[in-house]
Amino acid sequence: MPAAASVPVSTQPCCSRGELPTLRRVTENAPMAARIDTTRPHTARIWNYWTGGKDNYPVDREVGDQIRTLHPGIGDYALADRKFLGRAVRHLAGKAGIRQFLDIGTGLPSADNTHQVAQSVAPDARIVYVDNDPLVLVHARALLTGTAEGSTDYLDADLRDIDTILAQAARTLDFSEPVALMLLGVVIFVEDDEESYGVVRRLMDALPSGSHLVLSHTITSPAMPDVDAAVAFWNEHGTPRLTQRTPEQVERYFDGLELLPPGVVSCNRWRPDAAESPLTPEEVAMYGGVGRKA
C-alpha cells in the first residue's frame, strides 16, 4: 500500500530563475474541509498513522490496526518505502548530480521529504510536489519550505493529468535538464495495467536524457499471502482501490531505462545503509527501483 492515495497537482504562479516561489494559498482551491471525508479510511492518512504521524482520524487508525492484524509487517514496509526514498534521492542529488525532482503522489508531510533530502545534499535543488489528496493540500505550506538557494513548489492534480502536471511543473523545473521522476506507491492506484504503464511512459518520454525514474509498488507474491489478505480487506473497506503487481510487472515500468543496481528489489534491500542494517534486511512487500534514461 502506498504513501499517498491518489495522484495530484495545484497551480501556483512561479518565479523567475533564482527567486523563491511565493507560497500558493491553499484557499485558491475548493474549500479543503469540504473535500475531507473523516468517515471513511484513506490510504494517505493510514500510511501516516503507520509511520508514526498524527495527521489521521479514528477511522484511519481503526482500519490501520485491522490491516496490521492481517499483516503485522505493514508498518515495516511503510518505513522501508520512506527510507528507500531517502537513499534514492541522496544518490541522485549526490553522485548522479540531479538538481530537479518531480514527486507525484507525495502524500502527507513527514520526516525526510524529497526536498529536505535533496536540498541537504544540493541546496540549489528544485522540487515540485504533485498530489490531489485534500488533507495533503491543507499541509501544502509545510511542503513548500525549502532552501533560499533552491525552490519548492506544490501542484494539485491527478497522476493521469499528465499535460497539466508538465505544464505547471515547467514553471519551476527546466525540462531541458535532467529530472528525477518520483512515483512512490502511487501507480498502485491505476487498476488497468496498460494505462498504468502508459502513464509512466508518457511522463518519462517528456523528460530529457539523463533523467531518472524512482518507483515503488506493493507486490503480490505466493510467499506473502498475508499481504494479499490485507489489500483485499482494504479494497472492501477503504478508498481508493489498490492494485498489486508481481515483481516482474513492477520491473516492466523500467522498460527502456538503464536499471541501476541492484535492480527492482524489496525497498529495504535497495542499497541499504550498512551502519543501519549490517545484515541482509528482511524482505518486505514494497518493491522499488531506480532507472536512468539514456
Per-residue pLDDT of the chain (294 residues; tens, 9 = 90+): 444 333 333 323 233 222 222 223 333 444 555 567 777 777 778 877 877 777 788 988 988 888 888 877 777 777 888 899 999 999 999 999 999 999 998 877 777 889 999 999 999 999 999 988 777 777 766 666 788 899 999 898 999 999 999 999 999 999 999 999 999 999 999 999 999 999 999 999 999 999 999 999 999 988 888 888 888 888 887 777 889 999 999 999 999 999 999 999 999 999 998 766 556 778 899 999 999 999
231-263 core/surface letters (b: 16 or more CB in 10 A; e: else):
bebbeeebeeebbbbebebbbebbeebeebeee
Domains of the chain with bracketed CATH: 26-292 (3.40.50.150)
Closest CA to 183 of 43, 85, 49: 85
Instruction: Report the C-alpha gap between 71 and 34 in whole angstroms.
Output: 33
Is the Cβ–Cβ distance between 131 and 4 less than 8 Å?
yes
Looking at the chain, how many residues does it have? 294
Instruction: Report the C-alpha gap between 209 and 217 in whole angstroms.
Output: 24
* Strand-strand pairing, 286-292 and 258-259: antiparallel
Helices (H), ranges, 139-276 = 140-143, 162-169, 193-205, 225-237, 247-251
